[in-house]
Amino acid sequence: MLNVSVLTDPGFCPHSLNKYASIMACGNGYMGIRAAHEEDYTQQTRGMYLAGLYHRAGRNETTELVNLPDITGIEVELDGVNFTLLSGDIIEWQRELAFANGELRRSVIWRSPDGKRYRLESRRFVSLDQLPLVAMQLAITPLDAASQVVMKTGIDATQTNTGRQHLDEISVRVFDQHYMQGVYETQDRAADVVISAFCQLSADSESCFTAKNRRVSAHYCLTIAQGDTVTLDKIVWVAHRSDKALSQESFARRALADLKVCAARGYASLLESSSCAWADVWRNARVEVASAVPDDQMALDYAVWHLTTMTPAHDERSSIAAKGLTGEGYKGHVFWDTEIFLLPFHLFTRPQVARNLLRYRWLNLAGAREKARRNGWPGALFPWESASSGKEETPEFAAINIRTGMRQKVASALAEHHIVADVAWAVVAYWQATHDDTFMRNEGLTLLMETAAFWMGRATEVDGRLEIHDVIGPDEYTEHVNNNAYTNYLAWHNVACARRFMAQFGREDARFTENATRFLTRLWLPEANSDGVIPQDDTFMAKPAIDLSRYKAKAGKQTILLDYSRAEVNDMQILKQADVVMLTYLLPERFTPQQCAANLAFYEPRTIHDSSLSKAIHGIVTARCGDTEGAYAFWRDGVAIDLGDDPHSCDDGIHAAATGAIWSGVIQGFAGMQIVEGELHLAPSLPAHWRRLAFPLRWRNATLHFTYENEVLTIETTTPVTLTLWGKTLRVSGRKVCAYKDFLAPANGTATTEGRDDA
């Protein structure tokens, strides 16, 4: 069994309740549940979300991921005293999330203000093998004397998205002595949610059920002898549908029947099945590192945990929210984060999931076409933020100035068009890594053609050349510019790939080819100056630069906006996040190593890294430029975004893209993995305090495993593959051991002799 990390919560602290509720959230891609404590705290935000379940609460509201009725809350009264860690003393504390099997556990010994001690142990998991299933247990042991214990738990539909209610309660029912059920419908009638819960106590007690004010609850009251333990088991089935094939009654009845099967098995057996599913995840995706800093392994396990729990692998109609399923930040919307930061992990560990994520865009093409058409352009303009329908969901306004009542417009939906090319980039990366011709023939080509058509219509002719005007590149501190380098190069790549793949798949269309060729020969691609620096856009180089060190020291907090207005920031050389550096990361073959280094050196001092999407990309490019230690520093900063000391770093959910970047930073940074001209390249170079790096990788029809230790790379593959290692191309079958020193000679074409083939 792999020794997968355990994430711990160092101690109860009201300030960091929500950070830990986010980073220790449990989930399975179908649902996510914040790691809120069973007992309530005013600061604590509970949350349970289903992937793809969005709703708009009313006028002037934005479509958002629905926060469902709560099932995790348990009120406990011990000898007449309400159990809360805000009073009394915590004598022992342990709280952890075991990534290996997905169990969140807390064990406390609490001394009540009355001086009596109790042990309370709770555990829960969201099943990875039965998606609608959640199981929890709470065990109470009075340590000093026999105690009178009262517990209340159930389904609490008073839960809202900070006040916005999305669900109508249709019915609540209690069945037998153990079952409760709430049937809810989104207020637009589009979806039903049926929550069924089974509760059972390990000892006899007085019990009753109540249903009042959107809460259906079971109440237990009993005496527990000193030293005895009584355990409450709660097993919950969260069913959801947006098709109405069955009547609501039949759907609810079926949910109850499913729950009964689970309840009969009990917590331990259900956990065991889920653990087996997790074991598969770790086997197929775990990155192992032997580092002098133990937290490095923790970060990698944390990343794989969340990359798994946030991704609706079961459902191509939904994609990954910017905060996964761990909170309400960004309203649960889907951004370019998915294709650029999250898709690579899936592409190289479970490519069918990457395919689903692309199919989500394909299924939502209608919305993208409509957005393009409304703006007078051809093709598909994907929404900057999307939910389930593919319509633009970006809120029109951001913060309000409460003195003037004026609201700040959000410009991204109007101009952050690079998302179109980002989707196309991901389609190409997917095909390169899988050679999935069926996908390319059906969804892939359509996506490439529609996105290419958009760019061809979007470009403006100026003095005989084509330019792309009025855009926002990835750097959102620089708005409404012409010829953002990232956008122009990615658009070029988009159109070039559309033309190439249409030819390759026999789908040439004379008019399209002619337009594409014209576009490709005439689109302005901002040129590198004599130092190799590419101007971010037409006006960037003429703007003044200021010393950003004090803002960089508070990266992620957007403190620059406390000193300067957005307009002022726009008029200076200030980057929120990687922009040209991002370009060199995505299209490495277009730029020389010197150009990559020059752009990194020029832009990094001008970048505050106020977006969580920034540092990791700088880290990867830094690693590619040969500065492994510098790359490690960026990587650690990327890890600290959610796992660092800031108690409020992710109150409203983890930074999903930053999680993807933890994986990418190691695989694309330190292992030097990249796709160049469609082929797999590796060039491992580890930070000095890393002794060993091992990881699995899927490439086309091969499952590979790499281990790099003592400057020797051991490659194991199920199927022969061709790859380029430290600049030399070789064919690997079975197992091959390659010493770095053997690759140091100048590369002169294809090497076939490096490395040792083992039987």
Using CB under 6 A, list all residues that contact ligand BGC.
322, 330, 335-337, 474, 476, 576-577, 611, 613, 657
Q: Measure the CA angle with vertex 723, ends 585 and 421; round to 5°.
A: 30
Q: At closest approach, how far in Å is the CB of 523 from ligand BGC? A: 24
Complete DSSP assignment for 52-63: T-EE--STT---
What is the rounded CA–CA span in Å between residue 370 and residue 391? 8
735, burial (CB in 10 Å: exposed 0-12, middle 13-18, buried 19+): middle
Select which of 64, 476, 479, 604 is catalytic: 476
Nearest to 526 by CA among 495, 491, 502, 561: 491
Let me know: does 731 contact 711? Beta carbons within 8 Å.
no
C-beta closer to ligand BGC: residue 395 or 474: 474
- Rounded to a whole number of angstroms, the minimum distance from the CB of residue 658 to ligand BGC is 9
Strand 48-50 and strand 31-33: pairing?
antiparallel
- Beta strands 230-241; 133-142: pairing state: antiparallel
Residue placing its CB nearer to ligand BGC in the complex, 278 or 341: 341
Number of residues written out for the chain = 759
Q: Determine the Cα–Cα distance for residues 86 and 714; give it in Å rounded to an integer.
A: 53
Which is nearer to ligand BGC, 474 or 755 (by Cβ)? 474
Return the number of other C-beta atoms located less than 10 Å from residue 496's C-beta.
18
CB nearer ligand BGC, residue 172 or residue 322: 322
Task: State which residue, 352 or 408, has the beta carbon closest to ligand BGC.
Answer: 408
Please tell me the distance from the alpha carbon of residue 361 to that of residue 420, in angstroms, as a whole number: 10
- Minimum separation from the CB atom of position 323 to ligand BGC (A): 8
Tell me how far, at minimum, the Cβ of 536 lies from ligand BGC, in Å: 15
Residue closer to ligand BGC, measured from CB, 186 or 478 = 478
Burial of 558 (0-12, 13-18, 19+ CB in 10 A): middle
Nearer to ligand BGC, 335 or 695 (CB): 335
Give me the least distance between CB of 344 and ligand BGC, in Å please.
16
Backbone angles phi, psi at 743, to 5 degrees: -105, 5
Nearest C-alpha neighbor of 580 from the set 597, 558, 568 = 597
Q: Whole-number minimum distance, CB 324 to ligand BGC, in Å?
A: 11
- Do 151 and 75 form a contact (C-beta atoms < 8 A)? yes
HEC readout, 145-202: CCEEEEEEEEEECCCCECCECCEEEEEEEEECCCEEEEEEEECCCCCEEEEEEEEEEC
User: Cβ of residue 287: shortest distance to ligand BGC, in angstroms?
Assistant: 23
d(CA 609, CA 124): 36
Report, in Å, the least distance between residue 385 CB and ligand BGC.
8
Taking phi over 0 as left and psi of -120 to 50 as alpha, with beta for the rest, 79 belongs to: left
Give whichever of 70 and 339 is closer to ligand BGC, judged by the CB atom. 339
Using only C-alpha atoms, the chain has a radius of gyration, in whole angstroms, of 27
Q: How far is the CB of 375 from ligand BGC (least distance, A)?
A: 20
Q: Between 502 and 613, whose beta carbon lies closer to ligand BGC? A: 613
The side-by-side arrangement of strands in the sheet containing 167-175 is 6-8, 89-98, 103-111, 117-126, 133-142, 230-241, 192-201, 179-186, 167-175
Residues 6+ apart with CB under 8 A from 182: 69, 155, 157, 169, 171, 172, 194, 195, 216
**Exposure of 125 in the CB half-sphere (CA atoms within 13 A):** 26
User: Which CB, 98 or 587, lies closer to ligand BGC?
Assistant: 587
Separation CA 444–CA 411 (nearest Å): 29
Q: What is the spatial distance between Cα 160 and Cα 691, in angstroms, rounded to a whole number? A: 48
Q: Which is nearer to ligand BGC, 63 or 577 (CB)?
A: 577
Nearer to ligand BGC among residue 225 and residue 398 (C-beta): 398
- Smallest CA-to-CA distance from 580 within 604, 558, 551, 557 is with 604
The Cα 430–Cα 698 span in angstroms is: 11
Residue matched to tokens 């994986």: 663
Contact between 75 and 90 (Cβ < 8 Å): no
Smallest gap from Cβ 395 to ligand BGC, in A, equals: 13
Catalytic-residue membership of 476 = yes
Residue among 281 and 490 whose Cβ is closer to ligand BGC = 490
Position of minimal CB gap to ligand BGC: 335
Reference 617, options 674, 677, 570; nearest CA is 674
Identify which of 291, 300, 278 has the alpha carbon closest to the alpha carbon of residue 664.
Answer: 300
Q: Which of 387, 238, 382 is nearest to 320 (CA)?
A: 387
The one-letter amino acid at 640: A
DSSP helix/strand/coil, 524: coil
Whole-number minimum distance, CB 650 to ligand BGC, in Å?
A: 12
Alpha-carbon distances of 739 from 15, 539, 669, 725, rounded to whole Å = 50, 48, 19, 10
Q: How far is the CB of 336 from ligand BGC (least distance, A)?
A: 6
Give me the least distance between CB of 652 and ligand BGC, in Å please: 12
**CB crowding 655-689: b at 16 or more within 10 Å, else e:** bbbbbbbbbbbbbbbbbbbbbeeeebbbbbbbbee
Catalytic positions are 476
